[in-house]
Structure 1
Amino acid sequence: MAPRRTFTVKEKVDIISRFKNGENYVDLCNQFGVSHSTISTMWKNHTTILESFESKSLKIKKNHNPTHQDIENALLVWFKAQRIQNVPISGPLLQEKANHFARQLGKTNFECLGSWIYRFRQHHDIVVGKVCGESASVSQNDCDNWLRTVLPKLTEGYTDSQIWNADEIGLFFKLTPDRTLKFKGEKCAGGKLSKDRITVPVASNMAGEKRKLLVIGKAKKPRCFKNVKTLPVDYEANKKAWMTSETFEKVLRKWDSQLRGNKKKIILFIDNCPAHPQIQNFTNIKLAFLPPNTTSVIQPIDQGIIKTLKSHYRKLLVEKMVNDIEKSTTPFAVNLLDAIKMITTAWVRVTPDTIKKCFSHAGFGKFSTFNTTDEDSDDELNNLPLARLSSAQATVTDWETYVNIDNQVITTDNLTDNEIIESVLQTQEKEDEEEEEDCNLCFIQIGIVSDIKIESEIGSSIESQNWNQERDSDQKQDQYQNQN
């Protein structure tokens, strides 16, 4: 008779985890050379075995090889991205991916066992299994059904000022009308043109209130910020100028803390994307994910708020361009600080009435569903700035094209495996710390009138002053809504 095989607690946990993750009795019996009854007994006593394993959790954590933390971090980033996209994740798949990341990280002695995956799941409160999600495409009937049956249940007990929607917009902040064709159709995949664009998360509620803007740029310490004591926005940076899951969580936890201090609770509707993970342990924010592929129909931000914001921004940019040209001695230049000031002013000019109508148009409210954008943004070609630019014989495009030129720009990261590894290793190029000076300034050679020559030059001094002292009277309203 073959000697009876004994198993350590760790080995038993490995077998139990593999059984829970879908492996059958026969395969386990054959692999470990034991009878069906041995595996059956382990499963019968799995609660006791796991409790015994957990009782040694402190020791396990101490013995957990710190060199494997990078594998765990990479696996967690990958896992969150898959779950957001409603990809079913099993234990064996996690093991395979962990081994894959280990090879990429050069950990040749690492072998992912079921017990390692079990600890990984415990550390991060992960439940492995199929994810319930919508199909790849959603019909208008699906949208109507969600608005009629799901939305009322989610918003029950919340007032208009507690129902929020947020989304990111990409903005070519230096783009002038005469350069539109160069950027038309550009999505900026892989972080392309990160020095020419910013990502701006926008949040507002059904009552027409607006959240203080966050601007995400490329440089951590742009030179144009030098000696600037305060900014009218929050600022974050990464080398692709995108929203990331880490930034998203950081921003929401700060907001949650503010709400907790003000004893207010909100529900925040967001779309499904890798940068919007399902974050746990909020006390005052309830996250609600919109059905996939429905944002163009039922996301309030997309019903005119973004277009109105961009229209106001580009009007301000063209006004600056025309004023600089007419001064003739002042080169037209736009840096990140200029862009932040203009996007702040543009956000102030988006009216509460516009926001309310956009929520209504998306199916959230009871207001009129027509005229979902401000009246003064309908046809900016007839307004003075662009009309002056056009009459000066500049090559300009139509206003609609100009406003919507960056609608398809990618604003969130869908990381490849290599990019996940890079983010885990926290590689940071020097250019992320401080941009080259000529990247902060955008000087345009404009052939408008032959006797006006605007030459490119570097190092124009930027007047450092507190932006709070520069606001126009219409910016004195409390746009930040930090109490919400």
Structure 2
Amino acid sequence: MAPSKKKKVEKEGGKKKAMITVEVKKKMIEKHERGMRVADIARFYNKSTSTICTILKKKENIRGLDAAKGVTRVSKQRPRVLEDVEKLLLIWINEKKRAGDNVSESIICEKAKALYVDLVSKQPGTSQENEDGFKASRGWFDNFKRRSGIHSAVKPGEAASSDAKAAEVFAAEFQKLMVFDCYLPEQVFSCNETGLFWKKMPKRTYLTAEENAMPGPKPMKDRLTLLFCANASGDFKVKPLLVYHSENPRAFKKYHVEKSQLNVMWRSNSKAWVTRILFVEWINEVFGPAVKEYLLENNLPLKVLLLMDDAPAHPPGVQDDLLEEFKFIKVKFLPPNTTPLLQPINQQVISNFKKLYTKALFQLCFEVTEGTDLSLREFWKNHFNIVNCLNLIDNAWNWVSKRTLNSAWGNLWSDCVLGHDFNGFDQELEPPVVHQILSLGEIMGLEVNEEDIEELLEEYGQELTTDELMDLHRDQRLEVKEEISSEEEDKRAQESLTSNEIREMCKMWEKVQHFVEKYHPNKDVAVQTINLFNDNTMSHFHQILKRRQKQVSLDRLLGKISDRRPTQNPSSSPSPSSSSLLSHLPHTNYDSFQRQSAG
């Protein structure tokens, strides 16, 4: 009798056959359609050619699948609505993680059941029995966790509420530390993240009403994450870190934006939230150099304390990742569940920034509609983009006053607050900003009142509804497609450029370079400018030439190998040489294959 499947697996060394996810299958099909050979795809993914051929035969069916992350196949027994539940659940978990909230197994399962009921209720002809059909069992959760890789986001137990007692104890210890270690307010910094719906208006405006009435993705739900940081004296703000879900938005290309020249440190990932890697980059590339320069300019001791909460992006070992030149920076963490009570950046600084951002947004709308022929509706729909948003963020962060930043330390380090008069501060500051927003809205014919502005600010901290999660999911997919399309356009433009044209341009640049070096009166400025242009511009064209030269050399080598092969039998049909086959591969795919082969 033939051995069972289980025994066969044991005889082969106990290795379970690795299943290929739907996501990876789609990538295989995409590579093949871009010209990559079956054998090269098999080698790239370490699979047999027969497996790749089977996947390619079923490519039409696979393309039609819209599976959640990690799913290997979609069976008839697995309802489509469950796929949607898991996709939206991942977005929800990412949003919770972005906010620094803990999520446990029970919280995730409850949310999954709520999403399931909500989605099923939206389907026509739904019965109560269908709504109760998904139990979010332990088995489902284990499989979901394995497929999606959310282990780091799940914490044991329930998320706790604010711990007032721990906050009181920590504040007393913190004030003693400041005295004992002789820290000045200029040397103590606080940082924290916040989400921003950058294209969102109060609900009662006709722009929002039109947006909600339209089918499909809602740009007003587009969200980014900002990390703000300032010192306790309030006289120094650090360049913010901004994380978006797109690395190169189309507006950047349209307006020729240089990311290195922005007033924020621009980074991206698919979830648009701060990760440990991005946080460490910000500390070493922005925070460290900036505070060092600030202290030296003000003749202050090279000593800094950075206060932060225990969010996932701020792991305890972050101090070990500091570069050697920034070891003067010490990191201190707030106790769990004390952020709302103690974190200075959270004490009206972020809410004040969002008020000021809304004011800047209304002001921009007013200036555009007053100074051009555009209507507010047309400007909002066709012209307001992420580049405008970056200018508004810069304005709003600049408008956050020294007094706001200093008074924010009142709950934690009252001795550093100027005059110790921080009670009632918010009541003095907020009304003028809100009144300016309302005045601008009235001039533009927008029906908004003070409650609308407060509601808008509260929405930033509210949990996303099922419809909002669906909008986010659609937006992210659309943005990825647009980026791929933009990259393909750039690639076609590069391929239309001949190597001779690039060489001629390089020769002309060499002539200009020699002329400037010879005749410019300031040699240092000339050399610095030339090097900058070489690094930021000319290196791109040199890389194209280098890549093409490698391709030509390899094709010649493969051609020689092909010529040395024995002459084929005249009666047999000739097979194409490796050289001719490889020459049809796109450069990017083939270069990737070369690196894999070398590895």
Question: TM-score, normalised on structure 1?
Answer: 0.52
* Number of equivalent positions: 301
1:162-177 to structure 2, matched below 5 A, reads 162-177=187-202
1:223 partnered with 2:268: no
Given that 1:303 and 1:372 are in contact with CA atoms closer than 8 Å, whether structure 2 keeps it comes out as no
Q: Quick check: 1:311 aligned with 2:355?
A: yes
Residue identity matched to 1:141: K
Q: For the Cα contact (< 8 Å) 2:192–2:229, is it kept in 1?
A: yes
Task: Provide the aligned C-alpha RMSD in A.
Answer: 4.5
Q: Residues 406 and 202 of structure 1: is their aligned pair in 2 closer, same or farther, counting only changes over 3 Å? A: farther
Closer/same/farther in 2, CA of residues 350 and 403 from structure 1, 3 Å limit: farther
Deviations along 1:229-271, one digit per CA (max 9) or x if unpaired, are 4212211111221111221122123246526965733111111
Distance 1:84 1:178 in 2: 27
1:386 corresponds to: 438
1:147 shift after superposition: 0.7
SS at match of 1:359: coil
Q: Which residue number corresponds to residue 242 of structure 1?
A: 273
Residues 246, 480 of structure 2: 8 Å contact kept: no
Identify if the C-alpha distance between structure 1 residues 372 and 170 changes in structure 2 by more than 3 Å, giving closer, same or farther. farther
**How much does 1:349 deviate?**
1.1
Q: Answer whether contact 1:318 1:386 (CA < 8 A) is retained.
A: no
- How many angstroms apart in 1 are the aligned matches of 2:427 and 2:485? 38
Give yes or no for the alignment of 1:404 onto 2:457: yes
| Alpha-carbon offset, residue 135 of structure 1 | 9.5
Contact 2:303–2:329, Cα closer than 8 Å, also in 1: yes
Could you say if the C-alpha distance between residues 362 and 327 of structure 1 is closer, same or farther in structure 2, counting changes exceeding 3 Å?
Answer: same
Q: CA–CA distance in 1 between the matches of 2:147 and 2:455?
A: 43
Q: What's the counterpart of residue 392 of structure 2?
A: 342
User: SS at 1:170's partner residue?
Assistant: strand
Tell me, yes or no, if the aligned pair for 1:259 and 1:265 is still in contact at 8 Å: no
Quickly say closer, same or farther: Cα 1:228–1:159, change in 2 above 3 A: same
Distance (whole Å) between structure 2 residues aligned to residue 225 and residue 297 of structure 1 = 39
Deviates more, 1:296-305 or 1:329-338: 329-338
Deviation digits for residues 166-204 of structure 1, max 9, x if unmatched?
Answer: 011111111123467979xxxxxxxx9797121110001
- Name the structure where helix makes up a greater proportion of residues: 2
Contact preservation (8 Å) 1:223, 1:434: no
Q: Is residue 243–residue 273 contact of structure 2 (8 Å, CA) maintained in 1? A: yes
Q: Structure 2: how far apart are the matches of 1:102 and 1:292?
A: 25
SS, match of residue 395 in structure 1: coil
8 A contact 2:366–2:440 mirrored in 1: yes
Superposed counterparts of 1:32-181, under 5 Å: 136-153=160-177, 156-157=180-181, 158-178=183-203
* Relative contact order higher in (CA < 8 Å, ≥ 6 apart): 1
Task: Give 3-state SS (helix, strand or coil) of 2:193's partner.
Answer: strand
Which residue number corresponds to residue 410 of structure 2? 360
Higher mean C-alpha displacement, 256-265 vs 150-159: 256-265
* Distance in 2 of aligned mates of 1:146 and 1:435: 51
Q: 1:134: how far off?
A: 13
Task: Call closer, same or farther: CA 1:328–1:361 in 2, change over 3 Å.
Answer: same
Shift of 1:407: 3.4
Amino acid at match of 1:337: V
Counterpart CA distance in 2 for 1:102 and 1:161 is 45
Aligned partners of 2:372 and 2:433: how far apart in 1? 24
Unaligned runs of 5+ in 2: 1-45, 47-96, 105-141, 150-154, 210-217, 297-301, 465-478, 488-599
Structure 1 residue 137: Cα displacement: 4.0
Name the structure 1 match of 2:240. 213
Does structure 1 conserve the Cα–Cα contact (< 8 Å) formed by 2:230 and 2:405?
A: yes
In structure 1, what is the Cα distance between the partners aligned to 2:184 and 2:226? 26
Larger Rg: 2
- Alignment check: 8 A CA contact 2:245 2:268 kept: yes
Contact 1:310 1:403 in 2 (8 A): no
SS at match of 2:409: helix
The superposition leaves residues 71-127 of structure 1 with CA deviations (integer Å, 9 ceiling, x where unpaired) of: xxxxxxxxxx9x99799xxxxxxxxxxx99998599xxxxxxxxxxxxxxxxxxxxx
Structure 2 match to 1:332: 379
Amino acid at match of 2:246: A
Deviation at 1:335, TM superposition (A): 1.0
Can you list the C-alpha shifts for 1:412-448, whole angstroms capped at 9, x where unaligned?
xxxxxxxxxxxxxxxx955566889xxxxxxxxxxxx
Identity, in percent, stands at 27
Hey, what's the Cα distance between the residues in 2 that align with 1:260 and 1:376? 28
Q: For the residues of structure 2 that align with 1:284 and 1:148, how far apart are their CA atoms?
A: 24
2:399 maps to amino acid: R
Query: AA paired with 1:332?
Result: F
Map residues 465-480 of structure 1 onto 2, 5 A cutoff: none
Q: Quote the Cα distance in structure 1 between the aligned partners of 2:160 and 2:148.
A: 33
2:461, 2:331 → 1: CA distance? 25
Look up the SS of the partner of 2:305 in the other structure: strand
1:17-28 pair list within 5 angstroms: none
- Offset at residue 312 of structure 1 (A): 1.1
Whether the 8 Å CA contact 1:305–1:355 is kept in 2: the answer is yes
- Map 1:446-465; keep pairs closer than 5 Å: none
- Do structure 1's residue 254 and structure 2's residue 278 form an aligned pair? no
Q: Report SS of the residue matched to 1:164.
A: strand
- Aligned amino acid, residue 228 of structure 1: V
Secondary structure in 2 aligned to 1:329?
coil
Taking a change above 3 Å as real, the CA distance of residues 105 and 409 of structure 1, as seen in their structure-2 partners, is closer
**1:317 Cα deviation (Å)?**
0.4
Distance in 2 (alpha carbons) for counterparts of 1:174 and 1:353: 28
- Partner of 2:389, secondary structure, is helix
Runs of 5+ consecutive residues of structure 1 not aligned to the other structure:
1-66, 68-80, 88-98, 107-130, 184-191, 412-427, 437-484
Paired position in structure 1 for 2:308 = 270
Q: CA separation of 1:136/1:154 partners in 2, compared to 1, >3 Å: closer, same or farther?
A: farther
Q: Which digits, 9 at most, give the CA deviation of each residue in 1:8-56, with x for residues without a partner?
A: xxxxxxxxxxxxxxxxxxxxxxxxxxxxxxxxxxxxxxxxxxxxxxxxx
* Cα contact 2:199–2:219 (8 A) shared by 1: no
TM-score where L is the length of structure 2: 0.43
Alignment of 1:199 with 2:225, yes or no, is yes
Question: SS where residue 323 of structure 1 aligns?
Answer: helix
Distance change in 2, residues 1:429/1:355 (3 Å): same
Q: Deviations over 1:304-329 (max 9, x none)?
A: 11122111111010112223334562
The answer to whether the 8 Å contact 1:312/1:377 transfers is no
Residue 379 of structure 2 aligns to which amino acid in structure 1?
A: F
Structure 1 residue 379, shift from structure 2 partner: 4.7
Structure 2 letter corresponding to 1:153: L
For residues 283 and 179 of structure 2, the distance between their equivalents in structure 1, rounded to whole angstroms, comes to 19
Relative to structure 1, is the Cα distance of residues 146 and 387 closer, same or farther in structure 2, using a 3 angstrom cutoff? same
